[in-house]
């Protein structure tokens, strides 16, 4: 399988997100104008490095799936920029069609993702044909990929989606995503609908395919154990913003943001001496239509100070490739736990 050449070199991030926003307008008056907006994604910045798996976690409604669709250009952003290997997506240098050939997505609902009127072989071969590959070459590629994801072409190629199990359909979706020979695959809750035995098989398949094809993954999931297992770095989202980002082991072993600590404490423990007896986090996330001022987590934070409702925290580096958006780590922020600014000599 041939891939598009590396334009920017190995040191350049494959994907860079700058100031990405998506506000959904709500109907207000009788003509539909003048209403509020849902701040689903509200100004996020991050990078995806070449060859890594970036995990994305957070509570339901934090903006994970909207971020994935914005990255894929499936919905129009309110503001912000998506840069792929040094080229702005949607510009003359990188049209959206060419971007979609290099970045593919696997969705959560394996059945709804497939056309029920197309055979499995035709579903996988459809994308390459749209991008100019001949019918014969596309079918050969589809059969090769079905074999690589563990579906014997002689048995499965002529079947329809309703004739397959959920795990088999998700393998078809993975094969279809790889049919265009992409450089990056975005997996939005791609294994969450599967039972645990099938989930483990699909995760190991994803790791094998990543090594074989040199892929870069963005892996979105609510399963914190799976995210740690598969990810090189993890990004934590809360109410449309990034709370913390860093290497997987560092973030799980020593979380810095109060929300990250609360989120990770929800992971069930098999040790009877470490059972969770008290909820680490109370209440539901605030309404994204009218989010809290200052730090959005302050109404639920056990480290809250008066300044937290007044000042939006900046992202501060707290270790090697680890950064957190919290006033406790921002020098001179006014939080009692914040470092003091060094006095000029």
CATH number, domain with residue 226: 3.40.50.300
Strand order across the beta sheet in which 15-25 lies: 37-48, 15-25, 79-84, 87-88
Q: Is residue 342 part of a domain?
A: no
Distances 37 to 16, 23, 61, 71 between C-alpha atoms, Å: 26, 6, 15, 21
Q: Is residue 341 part of a domain?
A: no
Judge residue 27's burial from the number of C-beta atoms within 10 Å of its C-beta, 0-12 exposed, 13-18 middle, 19 or more buried.
exposed
Chain mean pLDDT for the chain: 89
Residues linked to residue 319 through DSSP beta bridges, in sequence order: 322
Does the structure show a pLDDT above 60 at 29? no
Q: Is residue 1 part of a domain?
A: no
In the structure encoding, which two tokens stand for residue 335, read together? 């939080």
Judge residue 229's burial from the number of C-beta atoms within 10 Å of its C-beta, 0-12 exposed, 13-18 middle, 19 or more buried.
middle
Q: What is the pTM of this model?
A: 0.91
Q: Is residue 203 part of a domain?
A: yes
Q: Please state the domain count of the chain.
A: 1
Which of 21-30, 101-110, 233-242 has the weakest average pLDDT? 21-30
Alpha-helical runs (H) found in 266-324: none
In the structure encoding, which two tokens stand for residue 300, read together? 């639920």
In the structure encoding, which two tokens stand for residue 301, read together? 């934070």
When pLDDT is cut at 50, 70 and 90, the band that residue 250 belongs to is: very high
**The domain containing residue 173 runs over which residues?**
15-26+37-329
Q: Is residue 5 part of a domain?
A: no
Q: Is residue 339 part of a domain?
A: no
Does the structure show a pLDDT above 50 at 5? yes
Q: Is residue 345 part of a domain?
A: no
Residues linked to residue 79 through DSSP beta bridges, in sequence order: 21
> Could you tell me what percent of the chain has a pLDDT over 90?
67
Q: Is residue 44 part of a domain?
A: yes
């Amino acid at each position: 399988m041939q891939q598009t050449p590396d334009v920017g070199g190995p040191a350049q991030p494959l994907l860079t997100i700058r100031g990405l926003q998506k506000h959904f307008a709500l109907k207000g008056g009788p003509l539909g104008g003048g209403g509020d907006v849902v701040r689903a994604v509200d100004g996020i910045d991050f990078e995806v490095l070449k060859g890594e798996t970036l995990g994305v976690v957070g509570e339901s409604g934090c903006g994970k799936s909207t971020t994935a669709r914005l990255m894929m250009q499936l919905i129009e952003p309110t503001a912000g920029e998506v840069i792929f290997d040094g080229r702005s997506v949607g510009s003359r240098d990188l049209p959206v069609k060419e971007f979609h050939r290099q970045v593919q997505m696997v969705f959560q609902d394996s059945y709804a993702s497939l056309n029920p009127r197309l055979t499995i072989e035709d579903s996988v071969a459809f994308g390459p044909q749209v991008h100019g590959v001949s019918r014969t070459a596309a079918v050969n590629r589809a059969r090769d990929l079905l074999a690589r994801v563990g579906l014997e072409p002689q048995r499965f190629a002529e079947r329809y989606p309703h004739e397959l199990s959920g795990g088999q359909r998700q393998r078809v979706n993975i094969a279809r995503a790889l049919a265009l020979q992409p450089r990056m695959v975005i997996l939005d809750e791609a294994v969450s609908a599967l039972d645990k035995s099938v989930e483990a098989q699909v995760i190991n398949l994803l790791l094998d395919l990543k090594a074989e094809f040199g892929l870069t993954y963005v892996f979105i999931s609510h399963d914190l154990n799976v995210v740690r297992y598969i990810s090189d770095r993890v990004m934590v989202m809360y109410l449309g913003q990034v709370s913390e980002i860093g290497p997987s082991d560092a973030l799980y072993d020593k979380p810095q943001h109060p929300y990250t600590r609360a989120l990770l404490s929800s992971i069930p423990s098999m040790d009877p001496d470490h059972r969770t007896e008290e909820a680490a986090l109370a209440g539901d996330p605030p309404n994204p239509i009218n989010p809290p001022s200052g730090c959005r987590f302050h109404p639920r934070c056990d480290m809250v100070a008066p300044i937290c409702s007044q000042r939006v925290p900046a992202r501060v580096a707290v270790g090697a490739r680890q950064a957190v958006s919290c006033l406790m780590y921002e020098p001179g922020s006014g939080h009692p736990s914040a470092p003091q600014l060094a006095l000029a000599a």
